[in-house]
Amino acid sequence: MHKVLMVDDNMTNLVLVRHLVTRMEGCEALAFTDPAAALTALEQGDVDIVLVDYRMPEIDGIEFIRRMRAMPRHEHVPIVMVTTVDEREVSIEALEAGATDFLTKPLEPIEFKVRLRNLLTLRGAQKTLAERAARLDEAVAEKTRELIEREREIIWRLSKATERRDSDTGDHIARMSRICGLVAEGLGLPEDECRLIEIASQMHDVGKVGIPDEILFKPGPLSAEERLVMETHAQLGWNILEGSKSRLLQMAADIAVSHHERWDGRGYPRGLSGVGIPLAGRITALSDVFDALMSVRPYKPAWPLDRAKALIVEGSGSHFDPACVEAFFSRWDEIVAITGGADREAAAA
């Protein structure tokens, strides 16, 4: 059913137009003598065509058209300005305001029917195109979601390649990446950026696939030579991930190569400092260290919560970006819950 809205402060004219509309098959007439009331109705619902008289008190036809066109939902709805013969000079102003067509009083029934049918056909074509565009947008959005999910799966599966190298790595990846997301939120980054950092950080240690087992699994301290070999995992991670067109993998590559850089420039592999270190790398550096401190490793027990917290505070401005540390502590309770530090200490007590 086509909805035809009519606005005319003259009840006699309105009754005539309504009669012509209701005689047309498939048309429903919505009649208003008050243009303000008609505008309110337009704000609340959709119509297929609008017939508006030019001469009306307070809000004339041209002003009515301007206000209607300012409503996004009615940007393309056909509007017919109804004028008298001696009011043709308003045509240009009406067209500039957004009128689609004109009808002249007195209305001729056959011309009225033909004009209205043509405009309703136009409106039908507009709606069909809009529906097709909406379906296309949804299809594109669905494909985009599928690609994002595939990228996430790639990230997760590649990160699992390091899991066999360390019995705690899988859990560490899950905890550390969630902490990264919380720190990013604490920094006030956009939601999509927070989730991107959270996912990409899972690849931070992918370069460890190239580290010999005798070094990676060594229970005691590493020698100077072994330490140098271990440090190559950051560059190896970059070599594995760099060059992708995927924003997610690009960020993962930045994280892999920069998560051992230090705010004061004394990190590796490139000796970057301050904001020269990618933000995602700075976030991951902090999150990775904290969760590692709170975890059991072949070479150490889990640290007490207070000791790990003190190291983070001490490292602000030297090891860690101070802004990241501030964001970290703004989400402290959630981070502690992720690491399970409070539960361990409660159990020990």
**Is the residue at 139 inside a domain?**
no
Residues 39 and 118 reside in one and the same domain? yes
pLDDT for the residue numbered 161? 63
32-62: pLDDT as tens digits:
999 999 999 999 989 999 999 988 888 999 9
CATH of the domain at 299: 1.10.3210.10
Residues 110 and 226 reside in one and the same domain? no
Residues 126 and 196 reside in one and the same domain? no
Residues 192 and 65 reside in one and the same domain? no
**Is the residue at 149 inside a domain?**
no
To 5 degrees, how large is the angle CA 279–CA 282–CA 287? 125
pLDDT at 87 over 50: yes
pLDDT for the residue numbered 334? 95
Residues 125 and 165 reside in one and the same domain? no
**Is the residue at 344 inside a domain?**
yes
Per DSSP (E only), the strands in the chain are 2-7, 27-32, 49-53, 79-83, 101-104
Residues 52 and 198 reside in one and the same domain? no
**Is the residue at 74 inside a domain?**
yes
179-191: pLDDT as tens digits:
999 999 999 999 9
pLDDT at 119 over 70: yes
Residue 224 or residue 146, greater confidence = 224
The domain boundary residue, chosen from 113, 133, 153 = 133
pLDDT at 22 over 80: yes
To 5 degrees, how large is the angle CA 172–CA 174–CA 180? 95
Residues 109 and 224 reside in one and the same domain? no
Nearest alpha carbon to residue 282 among 300, 302, 267, 298? 267
pLDDT for the residue numbered 309? 95
CATH of the domain at 87: 3.40.50.2300
**Is the residue at 145 inside a domain?**
no
Residues 11 and 112 reside in one and the same domain? yes
The DSSP code for 27 is E
Residues 227 and 285 reside in one and the same domain? yes
The domain boundary residue, chosen from 82, 117, 133 = 133
The pLDDT > 70 percentage for the chain reads 91
The domain boundary residue, chosen from 116, 133, 150 = 133
Strand, coil or helix: 28? strand
Token pair of 148 as six digits: 């994002």
pLDDT for the residue numbered 312? 97
Residue 262 or residue 92, greater confidence = 262
Confidence of residue 348 (pLDDT cuts 50, 70, 90): very low
**Is the residue at 266 inside a domain?**
yes
Residues 77 and 198 reside in one and the same domain? no
Residue with tokens 């703004």: 330
pLDDT for the residue numbered 188? 97
Residues 114 and 260 reside in one and the same domain? no
Residues 90 and 186 reside in one and the same domain? no
The whole-angstrom separation of Cα 69 and Cα 75 is 5
**Is the residue at 142 inside a domain?**
no
DSSP string across 72-118: GGGTT--EEEEE-GGGGGGHHHHHHHT--EEEESSPPHHHHHHHHHH
**Is the residue at 78 inside a domain?**
yes
The boundaries of the domain holding residue 278 are: 161-348
pLDDT for the residue numbered 37? 93
When divided into structural domains, the chain yields a total of: 2
Query: In the 3-class helix/strand/coil scheme, how is 38-83 assigned residue by residue?
Result: HHHHHHHCCCCEEEEECCCCCCCHHHHHHHHHCCHHHCCCCEEEEE
pTM of the complete model beyond 0.85: no
